Amino acid sequence: GAVVSQHPSRVICKSGTSVKIECRSLDFQATTMFWYRQFPKQSLMLMATSNEGSKATYEQGVEKDKFLINHASLTLSTLTVTSAHPEDSSFYICSASPRVPVGLFGQGTRLTVV
Amino acid sequence: ELKVEQNPLFLSMQEGKNYTIYCNYSTTSDRLYWYRQDPGKSLESLFVLLSNGAVKQEGRLMASLDTKARLSTLHITAAVHDLSATYFCAVTYNNNDMRFGAGTRLTVKP
């Protein structure tokens, strides 16, 4: 069945380095994927909408140069956190929808910047 | 701007009791979702509600939607400890992006 797979599930990196998170749609094609960020004990905040073959649409207050999104195929979107700092530590979740309007979410990536 | 308000934010229940979580949203929406999130985990889809008057039930959980009132409810019947989690409602509009409520942290005590 349709699944959204996100990788890695956990990553620890040093300040100043970059981290790439992958989001794949399995058994369906996703022209649009969404990236969310969730701080502890808070709700999900939409960061950006990833569009296959075109530039991502970022929400207000989200730095485009900081959070690079690439949606190069109908089944893969990537989020790269560039020059990561401790305040970027968070839970990042991607989502996509197959034709059935389920709203599938990846497993999430817990990023810790030390 | 679409706003989604959820209440209560925290809910402590005794096992066997009933309770309702409310979700209000500010503008016309395409779809309304209910999700469950366990600590450290991603979201698990519970219900998708598409039309006015829609009611869906799964086990001890029942969700309903009133699009005229822009209100959805998640009713918990005879709560059990396994239902302890955070529950989010979310709505979609314009290009399918999804906006979330703040979440209701449910604790079911024996």
Residues B87, B106 contacting (CB under 8 angstroms): yes
Amino acid at A83: S
Which residues of chain A have a CB within 8 Å of the CB of B92?
101, 103
Q: State the pLDDT at residue B98.
A: 80
The torsion region of residue B67 among left (phi > 0), alpha (psi -120 to 50) and beta comes to alpha
φ, ψ of residue B57 to 5 degrees: the values are -135, 140
Q: Tell how strand A76-81 and strand A90-96 pair up.
A: unpaired
- Give the per-residue pLDDT at A103: 78
What pLDDT was estimated at residue A32?
A: 87
pLDDT confidence of residue B61 = 98
Contact A10, B42 (CB under 8 A): no
Tell whether the model's pLDDT for residue A98 goes beyond 80: no
pLDDT of A97 strictly over 80: no
Average per-residue pLDDT for chain A: 92
Listing DSSP states for A73-111 in one string gives ETTEEEEEE-S--GGG-EEEEEEE--SS---EE---EEE
Residue B98 has its nearest CB partner, among A6, A42, A95, at A95
Q: How near does any CA of chain A get to the CA of B77, in Å?
A: 24
Confidence of residue A54 (pLDDT cuts 50, 70, 90): confident
Nearest chain B residue (CA) to A108: B42
Q: How far apart are the first and last CA of chain A?
A: 37
Between CA A89 and CA A5 the distance in angstroms is 21
* Inter-chain residue contact A43 with B40, CB threshold 8 Å: no
The answer to whether B36 faces chain A, any CB pair under 8 Å, is no
**Does B98 sit within 8 Å of A46, measured CB to CB?**
yes
The pLDDT mean for chain B works out to 92
d(CA A95, CA A69): 14
Per DSSP, the three-state class of A54 is: coil
Which of A4, A44, A60 best probes binding to B when mutated, by most B CB atoms within 10 angstroms?
A: A44
Mean pLDDT of B61-65: 97
Per CB-CB distance under 8 Å, the chain B contacts of A90 are: none
Model pLDDT, residue B71: 96
Say how many residues make up chain B: 110
Residue B18's φ and ψ, nearest 5 degrees, are -110, 150
Which residues in chain A have Cβ-Cβ distances shorter than 8 Å to B98?
34, 46, 95, 103
pLDDT of residue B110: 86
Pairing type for strands B61-66 and B55-58 reads antiparallel
Distance of CA A59 to the CA centre of its chain: 13
> Over the stretch B35-50, which tens digit does the pLDDT of each residue have?
999 999 999 999 999 8
**Inter-chain touch B95–A107, beta carbons under 8 Å:** no
- Select the residue of B45, B50, B103 nearest A43 (Cβ to Cβ): B103
Q: CB pairs below 8 Å between A and B: how many?
A: 54
Contact B42 A106 (CB under 8 A): yes
Q: What's the number of CA atoms in the CB half-sphere (13 Å) around residue A34? A: 21
Confidence at B95, pLDDT banded by 50, 70, 90: low
Q: For tokens 């979201």, what's the residue? A: B43
Residues of B with Cβ-Cβ distance to A108 under 8 angstroms: 41-42
Q: What is the mean pLDDT of residues A4-26?
A: 96
- A99 — pLDDT class (breaks 50, 70, 90): low
pLDDT band (50, 70, 90) for residue A63: very high
